[in-house]
Amino acid sequence: MEFTKMHGLGNDFIVIYGEQALPGNAAELAVKWCDRYFGIGADGLVYILPSERADYRMRIINSDGSEAEQCGNAIRCVAKYVYDHGYVKREEITIETLGAGVQKIAIQAENGKAALMTVDMGEPVLSGLRIPTTIDAAQVVDVPLEADGETFRFTAVSMGNPHCVIYVDDAVHFDLHAWGPKLEAHPLFPKKVNVEFATVLDRKTIDMRVWERGAGPTLACGTGACATLVSSVLNGKTDREAEVRLKGGSLFIKWNEADNRIYMTGPAAFVFAGHTDPAA
């Protein structure tokens, strides 16, 4: 089987093109192939599949075998893949996702290759039960959360997948390994949760680090960057447009007041192509 290794700001994926449907053993393959010592190595396995509603459909299997509803870095990789290979020749394409429906991507090309992509990430979901959390409220903003004897305050947002944003004094050096697993599986989140630790530097700049549900610490999270901006606006900490600085680089996020939609701009990159035996 042929594959392509790609990344969005260091959040890396094994991309498979040409299958007609998600294989029944996709979870097993993801665990095997994403292993960084005995496999190809990646945060997730991404299938680019046919769609009846969009140019293509994206399915994402995390490195632990669970399926993600959406991924902002993966969708940029998919857009770059189909554009660079000439499968879609327009500079605006559509990708169907499991959790966020059909999303539009505007491509800025350089020398015939996709360089920057702006993704219409849709409207944020703020209702506590729909995110989902166990809190029945129109918004879950600055709410206490107790874990292992510590109390954090969090804001919950769904971008097609659930996020818990927590503000800390120093996100860059925050101990993700100590707190990420405990918060990801906290009883407040019935489907587990992606956890973002954020430090607001000014009205237009945020440092953020992430513990991703099903993958652990990653260098970037597109939906997490979007959720962090939404949370920061709801908490009165930033403007509606800001640079979210991740370990792997920056994403530029805008929460457009006119249509209530989130727009994410960032790059994606090709790493290498290869082949592997699914039966090996």
Q: How far apart are the first and last CA of the chain?
A: 11
Q: How far is CA 210 from the centre of its chain?
A: 10
Q: Is 153 annotated as belonging to a binding site?
A: no
**Does the annotation flag 203 for ligand binding?**
no
The verdict on whether residue 194 carries a ligand-binding annotation is yes
**223 annotated to bind ligand:** yes
Query: Is 77 a catalytic site residue?
Result: no
Instruction: Say if residue 111 carries a ligand binding annotation.
Output: no
From 34, 77, 221, 226, active-site residue:
221
18 is in an annotated binding site: no
- Annotated binding residue at 25? no
Nearest to 63 by CA among 225, 218, 210: 218
Active site annotation includes 164:
no
Q: Is 222 annotated as a binding residue?
A: yes
d(CA 69, CA 159): 9
Cβ atoms 262, 160 nearer than 8 A: no
Q: What is the DSSP string of 86-110?
A: TS--SSEEEEEETTTEEEEEEEEEE
* Preceding omega of 132 cis (within 30 degrees of 0): yes
Confirm whether residue 134 is marked as ligand binding.
Answer: no
Say whether 212 counts as a known binding-site residue. yes
- Catalytic residue (choose from 71, 77, 164, 226): 71
Q: List Cβ<8 Å contacts ≥24 apart for 238-242.
A: 238/200, 238/202, 238/203, 238/204, 238/206, 239/203, 239/204, 241/204, 242/203, 242/204, 242/205, 242/206
Annotated binding site for substrate: 11, 62, 72-73, 161, 194, 212-213, 222-223
Annotated binding site: 11, 62, 72-73, 161, 194, 212-213, 222-223
**Residues marked as catalytic:** 71, 221
